Structure 1
Amino acid sequence: MNNSESYPPDFRRVINDGDSPATAEVEPVLVQDKDIHIPVIDFERLDKDMLTEACREWGIFRLVNHGVPLALTSQLQEISESLLSLPFENKRELFGAVNSPLSYFWGTPALNRSGDALKRGTQAPNVSMVEGFNVPLSKLPASTCCHDDAQHLKLESFRVLMEEYGMHITRVAVSLFEAIAQTLNLDLSGDRRSQYLSESTGLIRVYRYPRSSSVDEAAGEALGMEVHTDSSVISILKEDETGGLEIMKGEEWFCVKPVANTLIVNLGDMMQAMSDDEYKSVTHRVKKKDMTRERHSVCYFVFPQSDCVIKSSKYKPFTYSEFQAQVQADVQSLGTKIGLPRFIPTSPFFLKERA
């Protein structure tokens, strides 16, 4: 069990005093302890009809036979947990080195383009109980270890494992995107595929949600990650056995239980826009029920090229860089992401901006 000194100061107050962090109000009510079985897709035999239904009706599915080595994911989880268990100030120093592409964040999943936590608007929750490392894959090869102390050597091992994992997970993402694009009859000729899904944008975030044996038992849960949709084309999650992922289906929340040696794939806002809203960017959050255990997860996100124009009958044309800038502006001013509704010509958000 990790010492509380490894947690950010805001987390220690919650852990030691039992004060639940302030959280945003959410309209739909969680169906307590009600699990849901999301669709299962076999990566070795991608079935077009099953993939179409999963994307259209769910926006999320479980991937089996994905080919990512179990030994690799086990090693990555072990070293990630070891790095996250370092004292808080050590993590800040280790991942805050000049010219390092890696960064450490805590208290919010909303990051700027450099991977640092965004300053939130006053309407945001005070703190989300999550911390982690941001890893832009395209910049990893340029990162080298120039120290021989134990922590920097461990960081170098982490970098090497991330490179290998990144190659595997990028392969999975590209194959899945091409299969999904075929179900939509998207034109991938020329350089369109690399514009829609740019491997150079791929990044990985390693998350830790802390334990808290003294949190208010009446609440029975702690908000690790607030309600959101991903801004990506595709996100691919590898989680431990602790659980906590919840998705919105209809107007209710359901728990998605972890299953060993599988990946969870969810569609992001860019995929929804490309599909003319035929496919869904799933709304999700993380709420821990087991306060005595930490939750660890690794998520890969991939986006369009920054200047790729997303055209849709539902939205005004926009580039991914415009979308990203709008999301960050909303988080900083309002405390939350608005996302795609900002680009619907008939939406109140769109009309207000032009009033």
Structure 2
Amino acid sequence: MENMSESNFESYPPFFRPPIASLEEGFFDLEKPTKQTLDLPVIDLECIDHDRLSEACKDWGVFRLVNHGIPVTLLNQLHDHAKKLFFLSFESKQALFTNPIAYFWGTPALTPSGGVALQKGPQPQHVNWMEGFNVLLRELSHLQYDDPLLDSFGLLLEEYGRHQSRVATRIFEAMAENLNMCLKQSGSYLSPATGLARVYRYPCCPEPNRAWGMDTHTDSSVISILNQDKVGGLQFLKDDKWIDVQPIPNTLVINLGDIMQAMSDDKYKSVKHRVKVNKHEARISIGYFVFPAEDFVIRSSKYKPFTNADFRAQTQQDLRTVGFKVGLDRFKLT
């Protein structure tokens, strides 16, 4: 496990390397750390309890998934490969990775191929203390790298993507049934072809009370699925209180995104979440995000009709012009 005494600072984006003078300008004081921990609702993929799932989606917007069927060996191999790749020098990561696996740092929403400090024009309100790989899963079959580690990483991600597509489809079909949505259109409401993965590293931070690994946000997806390592830091907002989510081996954390909230006419919630950083241990997690078919029009009594492409374009525009994601409020009917 990486710790501060063993950290390879050459692997860090220069913005994160000591001395961290940037903490005075790019970051901010955090509120007192939360001590509250609640057990997330648990859903068993092998035998879905529809009432429990409905309650979790309405009251939480997030739940823990067990019996998901993804081999533990695959999860372990992915984390091991990710750790090795993150320990490459920052310059190597920038040079090595291009689509369908792109390197980013600071904020994945603004750009999947660069960092906040490298961008021109308006910046996000705060810099996230993290780096990662943005993976276009549908294009992995065309991946060709000379490096055996990168080749192996791509093959593992491709297999992981197939499992995540299966899990997301099964969960969505159960949610759609609960909402009396038309299951004949389920392939448009949630399209596995849109699935992407993000592999994150939250490096050790010398002043963990001055930076977020990931600032407060909601996801733009229909469904997001997170596989995290043993280092905690993930928090969700529940009843106006931040809840620490403890890592539990061989479980997945599933949360609903903005598009799922719109599809449900606000019956289900797109949950706010964030990630704390750690002074002594780096955190690695793998997120999977899936969306509707690109041209599928989402219709709701609460929001103007929009497509996934419309929502993404609006989010990118807001990030560049106002510095943060506005999200569903841009599409609300007045």
Counterpart of 1:256, as a letter, is V
Q: Corresponding residue for 1:185?
A: 180
Percent identity (aligned)? 50
* Contact 1:120/1:333, CA 8 A, preserved across alignment: no
Aligned partner of residue 83 in structure 2, secondary structure: helix
Q: For the structure 1 residues 64 and 121, does the alpha-carbon distance in structure 2 shift closer, same or farther, using more than 3 Å as the test?
A: farther
Q: For the structure 1 residues 259 and 312, does the alpha-carbon distance in structure 2 shift closer, same or farther, using more than 3 Å as the test?
A: same
Q: Corresponding residue for 1:236?
A: 225
Counterpart-to-counterpart distance in 1, 2:100 and 2:323: 26
Counterpart-to-counterpart distance in 2, 1:104 and 1:85: 13
* Contact 2:202/2:284, CA 8 A, preserved across alignment: yes
* Contact 1:21/1:126, CA 8 A, preserved across alignment: no
1:222 is displaced (CA, Å) by 3.3
Q: Corresponding residue for 2:125?
A: 125
Please report the TM-score for the alignment, with normalisation by the length of structure 1. 0.87
Please report the TM-score for the alignment, with normalisation by the length of structure 2. 0.92
Q: Corresponding residue for 1:83?
A: 85
Out of 201, 204, 207, the position equivalent to 2:200 is 207
1:124 is displaced (CA, Å) by 2.5
Counterpart of 1:173, as a letter, is A
Out of 152, 158, 164, the position equivalent to 2:159 is 164
Q: Corresponding residue for 1:337?
A: 325
Counterpart of 2:132, as a letter, is G
Q: Cα deviations across residues 130-168 of structure 1 (Å, max 9, x unaligned)?
A: 1000111100001122x2xxxx21100100100111111
Unaligned runs of 5+ in 1: 347-355
Counterpart of 1:194, as a letter, is G
* Contact 1:128/1:223, CA 8 A, preserved across alignment: yes
Q: Does 1:22 align with 2:13?
A: no
Counterpart-to-counterpart distance in 1, 2:19 and 2:269: 35
Q: For the structure 1 residues 215 and 31, does the alpha-carbon distance in structure 2 shift closer, same or farther, using more than 3 Å as the test?
A: closer
Q: For the structure 1 residues 39 and 104, does the alpha-carbon distance in structure 2 shift closer, same or farther, using more than 3 Å as the test?
A: same
Counterpart of 1:336, as a letter, is F
Counterpart-to-counterpart distance in 2, 1:234 and 1:54: 13
1:32 is displaced (CA, Å) by 2.0
Superposed, 1:87-126 pairs within 5 Å as 87-96=89-98, 100-112=99-111, 119=119, 122=122, 124-126=124-126
Counterpart-to-counterpart distance in 1, 2:107 and 2:71: 30
Out of 291, 308, 314, the position equivalent to 2:296 is 308
1:19 is displaced (CA, Å) by 3.7
Superposed, 1:209-288 pairs within 5 Å as 209-212=202-205, 214-215=206-207, 219=209, 222-288=211-277
Counterpart-to-counterpart distance in 2, 1:141 and 1:24: 42
Aligned partner of residue 32 in structure 1, secondary structure: coil
* Contact 1:121/1:334, CA 8 A, preserved across alignment: no
* Contact 1:70/1:261, CA 8 A, preserved across alignment: yes
Q: Cα deviations across residues 242-270 of structure 1 (Å, max 9, x unaligned)?
A: 11111111222121111111000000011
Q: For the structure 1 residues 79 and 21, does the alpha-carbon distance in structure 2 shift closer, same or farther, using more than 3 Å as the test?
A: farther
Superposed, 1:47-62 pairs within 5 Å as 47-62=49-64
Q: Does 1:7 align with 2:2?
A: no
* Contact 2:29/2:211, CA 8 A, preserved across alignment: no
Counterpart-to-counterpart distance in 2, 1:130 and 1:46: 34
Q: Cα deviations across residues 184-230 of structure 1 (Å, max 9, x unaligned)?
A: 010021xx211111111000000000013x326xx3x6300011100
Counterpart-to-counterpart distance in 1, 2:69 and 2:200: 23
Q: Corresponding residue for 1:322?
A: 310
Q: Cα deviations across residues 279-337 of structure 1 (Å, max 9, x unaligned)?
A: 0000001112x310000000000001111100000001111111110000000111100
Q: For the structure 1 residues 68 and 104, does the alpha-carbon distance in structure 2 shift closer, same or farther, using more than 3 Å as the test?
A: same
* Contact 2:102/2:113, CA 8 A, preserved across alignment: yes
Q: For the structure 1 residues 19 and 323, does the alpha-carbon distance in structure 2 shift closer, same or farther, using more than 3 Å as the test?
A: closer
Paired residues, number: 327
